[in-house]
Amino acid sequence: MGSLIMTVLGIIGFICLISLRQINQYQRGVMFTLGKFTGIKQPGWRLVIPIFQAMSKVDIRTKAVDVPDQEAITKDNIPVRINAVVYYKIQDAGKAILEVENYFWATSQVAQTTMRNAVGEVTLDALLQKRAEIADRIKVAVDTTTDPWGIDVESVELKDVIIPENLKRTISKEAEAEREKRAVIIKADGDRIAADNLALAAKTLGTTPGAMHLRTLQAINDLSSDQSNTTIWMIPTEVLDAMKGFGKKMNP
């Protein structure tokens, strides 16, 4: 009798030992009893009765889905290739197991199709200049689709926007032409401002008594500061005629 009890206890202990399952802190256990969902198990050691029960572990840490290169056509009919990274985490482990067969693969597929659709709605210039805005738009769309699966999309990052080589050269030429245009406009504005200032200075010198003489003296002073300068004086003919007339009066 004693040996029978020991045998039974040994069998029970063995069943308990093989029924123990460990759930780590970053996991949740989705429990099924006789094929039916019966709850979510928290971290720790949990008893799962063989044959009658089964448990699927779900990692609830943030995951990164590397979305491969996608061929897409922009709104202005430019072919591009884009890739991205989608960061998400499981918010409801039960839905992630019950509502979708493979949540990782499904999330990747949703991200790919959403990226192609988003690129088709914008021009190439907008795609290059507003990458963060487009990434946020993709995030909202992917999050809306995956929400019934218990998945929370935290962010979407567009890594690369690859355009054809011939188009790169065209864009480079366009950018160079734009820079040259800005340089010409800036130079023209500078010349106009300089001309306005010169006209204003000439008007001031012409209307202010003694201003021209002061300017002449200042110019002479600037020239005399360097002994290597040679100054040539040009006297108007009216002044020479006046001096000649004055000389005739002095010597009749």
Domains defined for the chain, CATH in brackets: 2-59 (no CATH), 63-168 (3.30.479.30)
CA dist., res. 193 & res. 109, Å (int): 60
Most confident range, picked from 85-99, 122-136, 167-181? 85-99
Across the chain, mean pLDDT equals: 79
More confident residue, 231 or 32: 32
Portion of the chain with pLDDT greater than 90, in percent: 29
The mean pLDDT of 177-190, rounded to a whole number, is 78
The mean pLDDT of 142-167, rounded to a whole number, is 87
Between the CA of residue 103 and those of 28, 88, 221, 225, 250, what are the distances in Å?
Answer: 15, 11, 86, 85, 116
CA dist., res. 214 & res. 197, Å (int): 19
Looking at residue 185, its pLDDT comes to 85
The mean pLDDT of 148-169, rounded to a whole number, is 84
The mean pLDDT of 198-206, rounded to a whole number, is 70
Asked if the model's pLDDT at residue 222 lies above 70, the reply is no
The mean pLDDT of 183-210, rounded to a whole number, is 75
The mean pLDDT of 219-232, rounded to a whole number, is 61
Q: Which two tokens stand for residue 124?
A: 């190439």
More confident residue, 15 or 82: 82
The mean pLDDT of 107-118, rounded to a whole number, is 91
Looking at residue 173, its pLDDT comes to 63
The mean pLDDT of 10-25, rounded to a whole number, is 76
Looking at residue 1, its pLDDT comes to 63
More confident residue, 181 or 225: 181
The mean pLDDT of 94-119, rounded to a whole number, is 91
Looking at residue 217, its pLDDT comes to 58
List the beta bridge partners of residue 32: 37, 54
- CA quadruple 13, 18, 22, 28: dihedral, nearest 10: -120
- Give one DSSP letter per residue of 52-119, joined into a string: TEEEEEEE-S-EEEEEEEEEEE-TTS-EEEEEEEEEEEES-HHHHHHT-S-HHHHHHHHHHHHHHHHH
Looking at residue 13, its pLDDT comes to 66
Q: pLDDT category, 221, cuts 50, 70, 90?
A: low
